[in-house]
Amino acid sequence: MSVALGLNRPLVVRTTLVGDPGDLLARLPEAAPYAWIRHGEGLVAWGEAARVAVPPGPRRFEWARDWLSDTFGEAHVDDDVGAPGSGPVAFGSFTFDPDAQGSVLVVPRVVLARRDGRAWLTTLGEERLDLVTPLRDPGRIRYGDGSLTAPEWEHAVARAVRQIRSGRLEKAVLARDLTATAEREIDVRLLLSRLARRYPGCYTFSCDGLVGATPELLVRHTGETIESLVLAGTVSRGTDEADDMARGAALFASEKDRYEHTCAVESVREALAPLCSELKVPEEPELLVLSNVQHLASPVTGRLSAGASVLDVVAAMHPTAAVGGTPTETALDVIRELEGMDRAGYAGPVGWIDARGDGEWGIALRCAQIEGRGARLFAGCGIMGDSAPAAELAEAQAKLRVMQYALEG
């Protein structure tokens, strides 16, 4: 039995078309905002009609799918739109490690969405107006070391390199965290607005305090069609146009980065092939240029066998080689040995799903976990046999600057 509005009764859902709401993020009230925005389109939401902590373990995505099936299946739905993201929607965040606590699904009370020239409003239960207050600046930010200092993290990278050269594995992705403390309570809406403005091509997200702008689309599920964007191989932006182009060309020609990217693409191919009747994987990557870094990117498309939910695809794909390593189980062991921390939701799946099983899920990169005046920032790097610890530290610091900008403006 689903838990809705704190009671054992079905959800009552109403979706209607509305006029263009303008900036979706500007419509969010301060309390517990949810968001999934790219190029100004997507979903924002607030309130909680239903919430569940997903039990850890190898079957957690199956458990989540069944809970949603029960919750949405009992709902009374009046949907005038019938598009992906209309009707009842759940936002979710899953921990990177399947054995870690902290995965959550939330069915918001109000969802405001815009897609392909149409906008709609979904309400669950009685419609209420929620007060939109001005954005609050958090004031001065103080940073501190996370689980490892910079030298300690470089040492961990060196240890991973030695294990890769020994033949134990081909690649390991090591994450680094940084703590931040603000003068005043952090307004998640301010972070979202800064991220969406500066990184419009990324997926700006917020779910249960996990906030960020990820460039990596794990899967978009629309009907039987799925799309994924594989990112692996990174270089920082240049000091001018010529330097920028030279760095991009060097990244594209880098044997280390191309091999890292190939590992990531193959892991996605292996995960999706059993689920798909058709699968298209490009032979060569392309360059994805963001405001702070450039990535090697491969867009993958496919057609699912009938009846599969977006969560089935997420379960098959997570963790990809882009955030774990190759081979997966060995890489996860190395991560546990060397990182010295719980990643929580960092590098885990984050996104939304509707009652049809459609949805969009990304990998929670370029993100921070926000609680009151505190934040925990994350970044990670793919470590290969020829990785240089100092270069990997510089890459991690470049990635951390995304959330530092969100906090500082």
Q: pLDDT digit string (tens) for 217-268? A: 999 999 889 999 988 888 888 889 999 899 999 999 999 889 888 988 988 8
Catalytic residue among 154, 171, 260, 392: 171
Task: For 198-330, list the strands marked E by DSSP.
Answer: 203-207, 210-214, 217-222, 225-236, 276-280, 286-289, 293-304, 325-326
Read off the tokens for 402: 């995304």
134 Cβ contact partners less than 8 Å away, ≥ 6 residues apart: none
pLDDT of 53 above 90? yes
First to last CA, the chain: 44
Kindly report the pTM of this predicted structure. Answer: 0.91
Exposed e or buried b per residue across 7-25, where buried means at least 16 C-beta atoms within 10 angstroms of its C-beta: eeebbbbbbeeeeeeeebb
Between the alpha carbon of residue 282 and those of residues 228, 270, 297, the distances in Å are 12, 14, 10
Give percent above pLDDT 90 in the chain: 79
Q: What is the percentage of the chain residues whose pLDDT exceeds 70?
A: 97
What average pLDDT does the structure give for the chain?
92
pLDDT at 9 over 80: no
136 pLDDT higher than 70? yes
pLDDT at 285 over 60: yes
Q: What is the mean pLDDT of residues 295-302?
A: 93
Please state, in angstroms and as integers, the Cα–Cα distance from residue 403 to each residue in 95, 144, 145, 214, 392, following that order.
19, 14, 15, 11, 18
Quote the CA–CA distance of 112 and 92 in Å, as a whole number. Answer: 17
Q: Using 50, 70 and 90 to split pLDDT, how confident is the model at 128?
A: low
> Is a pLDDT exceeding 70 seen at residue 388?
yes
Give yes or no: 280 in active site.
no
User: Is the distance from CB of 95 to CB of 344 less than 8 angstroms?
Assistant: yes
Active-site residue among 48, 154, 216, 392? 216
State yes or no: is 170 an active-site residue.
Answer: no
Partners of 43 in beta bridges = 36, 113
Alpha carbon distances (Å) from 16 to 72, 85, 129, 235: 18, 12, 16, 44
Rounded CA separation 381/368 (Å):
16
- Taking the C-alpha atoms of residue 332 and residue 336, their distance in angstroms, rounded to an integer, is 6
pLDDT of residue 352: 98
pLDDT at 3 over 80: no
Structural tokens at position 175: 């994450």
Does 196 score more than 80 pLDDT?
yes
Whether the per-residue pLDDT at 5 is higher than 90: the answer is: no
Beta bridge partners of 368: 211, 377
The helix/strand/coil state of 74 is coil
Look at residues 86, 61, 359 and name the one whose alpha carbon lies nearest to residue 228: 359
- The DSSP letter of residue 7 is B
Q: What is the mean pLDDT of residues 134-155?
A: 96
Phi, psi dihedral angles at 175 (to 5 degrees): -100, 155
pLDDT tens, position by position, 182-193? 999 999 999 999
Q: Which fold has domain 12-134+143-408?
A: Anthranilate synthase (3.60.120)
Instruction: Inform me whether the pLDDT recorded for 277 exceeds 50.
Output: yes
Asked if 4 and 11 count as a contact pair (C-beta separation under 8 A), the reply is: yes
**For the residues 75-85, what does the mean pLDDT come to?**
95
Nearest to 223 by CA among 304, 116, 317, 316: 304
The CA R_g of the chain, rounded to the nearest whole Å, is 21
Domain boundaries, the chain: 12-134+143-408
